[in-house]
């Protein structure tokens, strides 16, 4: 009597198919690569703080390289310098981070309501201007603030404030918590604006109209209906803004270091500069813990009260703008002034500063084009030539453009592949794990992420070479840090593509690679380009992420500009920041133009 094991055969055939499935192979490969590039760096960073290094004998006689130790954690937490090294910077980080977040939420929320929910004029051209502060580097906003409010107490020439009023600004206005918080808020309020604007667009106007009919005033309607409904958007904006501000390095350094006002991020940089690598890594882990805690608290808040925030249901939905009446033009004027001050004025100030022969003298006779077109002059800027003749700047410009374009292209392609796997294999636990791991870089403050890669690629590990000091490392960390954005835009694009198109291609005998190349990529091209634009802008103005990984051969414009600012060559620093801002805007316009061309061709094919 013979017995056939058909179920086992079916399982074996299914297993064979899954093994040779190109999507599964790609998923496993990406999972391994991202686990090494995202998860392992954190554990490597943690290991570095718990073991003695080869050069730690100068710190402690008991140091034995490779052995376990709590020394660095104890020094940071309870050592004689723990107050200056950790606790004081930690308090400063919380003060500036929370203050900047609250200001950004208020500004972004009010502006979003004016643009989305009111009948204010000029909304179409005001929207891109309101996002300009995020496109330009935070470095630029700090330099513009210092141009106006520079204090003579820290040396150097007077700022515009003193030149116009004849008296020095108070020190708290020039350096410390107030200017850091305000400038961080200016740079990051577009996050709050965009997130809250999206939530406001989904509010059913009937709820607000019912409240007004019941006798509630506009302020009560805003407070009791509008704001509670968009609370999740505010929470998301809080996470985004707070997580970014605590990892910001350049802005707190420029506006805090002159008066010894340090944050945890600036102390990470300072300890690495002093060769205290393990202590710097302890502080980096503290930054990561702060970011993760804020996200956990916000998720807990939204999860418990999610029913309160439902705005779109099976009932009728209507969204109408609210008439401002006599306040229509005054509100428009206020928004225009705000947009000009935070988005355009900093660039104007930097432009003026870059053509001043002597910093701080604002007469016409002090204007010069030397810092743009001049050759080397020992009597000006320590002999540094102008932008056009400066080989360091020209090399950094090429490195910057190359890094931004290469990183944006790779990040968008890899992000689309991960997004495809996440959507098409949504029930696969490995696909969900891949999606979650790709989001993790968003949780790491940028300077902490840079410290992680410094430990990971400082020495060769097996077949993986030491990448420190190479352009490849800059591309690698830039791509990984932009994956959360490119994956999310890719998920949106892939979700809109029906599976029947691929099923028809399968029946026609097309391989997976051909289906992906001929169907998914063209139809998801707008999402890919959106991810490219986000990545290009982010990489162009990035400093905190790569400041620890830069060497003389891999300098980019932001690091060269930061170096000039440290040396007091503010004119050259301002010129470089202007170049970054202009190149960023031009690059984004080019990608938008390409995207419009893609859309036009798609519409033509559909017609």
Please give the full DSSP string across 125-182, using - where no structure is assigned: HHHHHHTHHHHS-HHHHHHHHHHHH--GGGSS---HHHHHHSSPPPHHHHSSHHHHHH
Contact 340, 574 (CB under 8 A): no
Q: Where are the domains of the chain?
A: 81-306+325-353
pLDDT tens readout for residues 545-599 = 888 888 888 889 888 888 888 887 888 888 888 888 888 777 767 766 665 555 4
Contact 113, 544 (CB under 8 A): no
pLDDT of 323 strictly over 80: no
Look at residue 185 in the predicted model and tell me its pLDDT: 92
pLDDT of 173 strictly over 70: yes
Lowest mean pLDDT among 142-146, 302-306, 344-348, 593-597: 302-306
pLDDT of 264 strictly over 60: yes
Look at residue 308 in the predicted model and tell me its pLDDT: 44
Q: Model pTM greater than 0.75? A: yes
C-alpha 368: how far from chain center: 35
- The structural architecture, per CATH, of the domain 81-306+325-353 is Orthogonal Bundle (1.10)
State the number of CA atoms in the 13 A half-sphere of 409 facing the CB: 6
Specify the DSSP class assigned to residue 60: -
pLDDT tens readout for residues 206-257 = 555 565 566 665 666 666 666 666 666 677 677 778 878 888 888 898 899 8
Look at residue 206 in the predicted model and tell me its pLDDT: 58
Look at residue 528 in the predicted model and tell me its pLDDT: 75
Mean pLDDT in residue range 273-289: 87
Burial class of residue 181, CB neighbours in 10 A (0-12, 13-18, 19+): buried
Average pLDDT in the chain: 80
Distances (CA, A) of 364 to 161, 324, 349, 361, 571: 18, 45, 15, 9, 16
pLDDT of 78 strictly over 50: yes
Give first-to-last CA distance, the chain, whole Å.
65
Q: Which of 356, 352, 375 is nearest to 367 (CA)?
A: 356
Mean pLDDT in residue range 6-12: 59
Distance CA 114, CA 130 (A): 12
Percent above pLDDT 70 for the chain = 83
Lowest mean pLDDT among 276-285, 380-389, 478-487, 494-503: 494-503
- SS3 per residue for 571-590: HHHHHHHHHHHHHHHHHHHH
């Amino acid at each position: 009597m013979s017995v056939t094991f058909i179920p086992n055969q079916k399982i074996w055939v299914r297993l064979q198919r899954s093994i040779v499935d190109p999507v599964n192979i790609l998923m496993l490969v990406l999972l391994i690569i991202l686990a090494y590039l995202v998860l392992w760096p954190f554990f490597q960073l943690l290991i570095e703080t718990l073991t003695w290094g080869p050069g730690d004998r100068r710190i402690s006689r008991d140091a034995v390289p490779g052995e376990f130790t709590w020394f660095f954690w104890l020094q940071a937490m309870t050592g004689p310098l723990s107050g200056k090294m950790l606790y004081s910077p930690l308090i400063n980080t919380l003060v500036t981070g929370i203050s900047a977040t609250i200001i950004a939420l208020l500004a972004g929320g009010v502006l979003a309501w004016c643009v989305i929910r009111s009948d204010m004029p000029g909304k179409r051209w005001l929207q891109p201007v309101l996002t300009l502060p995020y496109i330009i580097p935070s470095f630029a906003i700090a330099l513009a603030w210092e141009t106006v409010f520079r204090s003579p107490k820290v040396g150097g020439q007077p700022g515009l404030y003193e030149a116009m009023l004849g008296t020095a600004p108070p020190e708290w206005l020039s350096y410390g918590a107030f200017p850091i918080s305000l400038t961080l808020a200016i740079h990051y309020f577009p996050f709050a604006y965009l997130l809250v604007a999206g939530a406001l667009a989904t509010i059913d106007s009937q709820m607000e109209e019912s409240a007004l009919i019941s006798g509630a005033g506009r302020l009560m309607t805003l407070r009791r209906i509008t704001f509670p409904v968009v609370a999740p958007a505010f929470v998301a904006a809080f996470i985004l803004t707070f997580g970014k501000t605590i990892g910001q390095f350049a802005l707190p350094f420029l506006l805090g270091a002159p008066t010894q006002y340090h944050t945890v991020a600036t102390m990470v940089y300072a300890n690495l500069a002093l060769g205290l690598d393990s202590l710097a890594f302890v502080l980096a882990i503290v930054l990561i813990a702060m970011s993760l805690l804020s996200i956990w608290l916000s998720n807990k808040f939204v999860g418990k009260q999610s029913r309160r925030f439902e705005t779109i249901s099976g009932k009728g939905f209507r969204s109408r703008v609210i008439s401002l009446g006599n306040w229509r033009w005054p509100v428009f004027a206020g928004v225009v002034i705000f947009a000009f001050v935070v988005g355009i004025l900093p660039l104007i100030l930097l432009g003026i500063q870059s053509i001043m022969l002597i910093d701080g003298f604002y007469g016409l006779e002090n204007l010069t084009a030397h810092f743009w077109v001049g050759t080397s002059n020992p009597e000006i800027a320590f002999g540094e030539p102008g932008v056009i003749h400066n080989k360091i700047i020209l090399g950094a410009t090429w490195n910057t453009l190359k890094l931004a374009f290469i990183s944006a292209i790779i990040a968008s392609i890899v992000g689309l592949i991960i997004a495809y796997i996440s959507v098409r294999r949504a029930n696969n636990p490995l696909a969900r794990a891949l999606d979650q791991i790709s989001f993790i870089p968003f949780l790491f403050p940028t300077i902490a992420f840079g410290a992680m890669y410094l430990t990971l690629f400082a020495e060769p590990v097996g077949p993986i070479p030491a990448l420190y000091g190479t352009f490849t490392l800059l591309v690698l960390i830039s791509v990984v840090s932009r994956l959360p954005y490119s994956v999310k835009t890719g998920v949106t694009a892939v979700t809109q593509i029906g599976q029947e198109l691929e099923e028809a291609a399968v029946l026609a005998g097309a391989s997976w690679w051909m289906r992906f190349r001929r169907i998914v990529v063209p139809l998801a091209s707008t999402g890919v380009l959106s991810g490219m634009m986000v990545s290009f802008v982010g990489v162009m103005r990035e400093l905190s992420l790569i400041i620890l990984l830069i060497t003389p051969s891999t300098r980019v414009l932001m690091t060269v500009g930061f170096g000039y600012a440290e040396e007091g060559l503010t004119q050259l620093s301002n010129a470089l920041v202007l170049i970054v801002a202009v190149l960023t805007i031009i690059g984004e316009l080019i990608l938008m133009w390409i995207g419009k061309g893609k859309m036009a061709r798609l519409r033509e094919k559909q017609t």
